[in-house]
Amino acid sequence: MSLAREGDRRALARLLSSIENGETVLETKIDPSDEWKILALTGPPGVGKSCLLDRLLHVWTGKGMRIGVLAVDPSSPRSGGALLGDRVRMTVVDHPEKKDYVYVRSVATRKSSGSVPSVVQEMAACLLMTGWDRVIIETVGAGQSEVRCAAVADRIVLIEGPARGDGVQAEKAGLLELADAILVNKSDLPGAERHANELRESLQLGNGTPPEVQLVSALKGDGIDEAATLLMGLRQTSRAERARWRERILSHHERQILNHSEFNTILTNLEEGLIGFDEAYTKLRDANE
């Protein structure tokens, strides 16, 4: 930890692995302050989360902010392996002046369900303890009901794109209700403006102050400076406090079960019909109490 704090990136990378593998456990605390420390960027696959994040990182690091990035990609439910490709989009890590201000780490979901594994919370805490000012979590491409990122992040930014369905889609419940801001990417394509308007109309109907909806184009660079400023100053919209706590409890519970020393044995026994579901679940649950 002390080496990582002094700027030894290899020591930091190793420390993060050891947290990810459950060999080091960090205490995490939830910081209720006005300024966020951990922000989740989420949204459907292919809307441009990685490219947009790269653009934003260029702006933030250019202002001297030190940003840690945890980019999550899915693990194969069959082999457990993963192809982690978010880094391909990151040009900021090659920029001679900016690369020292950014640390990008690819993370696989491993056994977790949801768009962010709960261990990411500890990994983010580790980055904050080792001298990184803010942490951005880029989630797996996430669907309408993927709200697990609320468990690990102080703020949630939803990335949308044009041609994402008609006005009814914007009325649907789920992730949209938890977002603290929404960026509609690919504003260079037709339909982006209309989609942004539909989202704004829908959000006006909710309680409290509706979140900002901004148009951006990661491809052309339009609206990036404005988005970078908006995100950095993002306040808690507190529309989601109850949902956050619910996700935190669920996420913690899932982690407890996944970390059970006999989890794999119990799965194999179930697969081979040696034990029933009730027995398996009781075993996993009781050992945690």
Residue count (the chain): 289
- State how far the Cα of 47 lies from the Cα of 78, in Å rounded to an integer: 26
Q: What is the smallest separation between the CB atom of 75 and another protein, expressed in angstroms?
A: 8
Residues 6+ positions from 259 with CB-CB distance below 8 Å: 22
Phi/psi at 164 (5° precision) = -105, 35
Q: What is the smallest separation between the CB atom of 289 and another protein, expressed in angstroms?
A: 25
Q: In this structure, which amino acid lies at residue 62?
A: G
The correct pick among 105, 148, 239, 244 for binding another protein (CB under 8 A) is 105
Q: What is the smallest separation between the CB atom of 228 and another protein, expressed in angstroms?
A: 23
What x/- string results for residues 65 through 94 when contact with another protein is judged by CB under 8 A? ----------xx--xxxxxxx-xx----xx
- State how far the Cα of 264 lies from the Cα of 257, in Å rounded to an integer: 11
The residue to which tokens 């990378």 are assigned: 13
Q: What is the smallest separation between the CB atom of 176 and another protein, expressed in angstroms?
A: 31
The correct pick among 1, 6, 7, 21 for binding another protein (CB under 8 A) is 21
- State how far the Cα of 89 lies from the Cα of 109, in Å rounded to an integer: 19
Q: What is the smallest separation between the CB atom of 7 and another protein, expressed in angstroms?
A: 12
Residues 6+ positions from 167 with CB-CB distance below 8 Å: 198, 201, 202
What x/- string results for residues 203 through 242 when contact with another protein is judged by CB under 8 A? ----------------------------------------
C-beta of 99 vs 283, nearer to another protein: 99
Q: Does 7 bind another protein (CB under 8 A)?
A: no
For the four alpha carbons of 8, 9, 10 and 12, in that order, the dihedral sign comes to: positive
- The residue ranges that bind another protein (CB under 8 A) are 9-10, 13-14, 16-17, 21, 75-76, 79-85, 87-88, 93-94, 99, 103-106, 108, 110
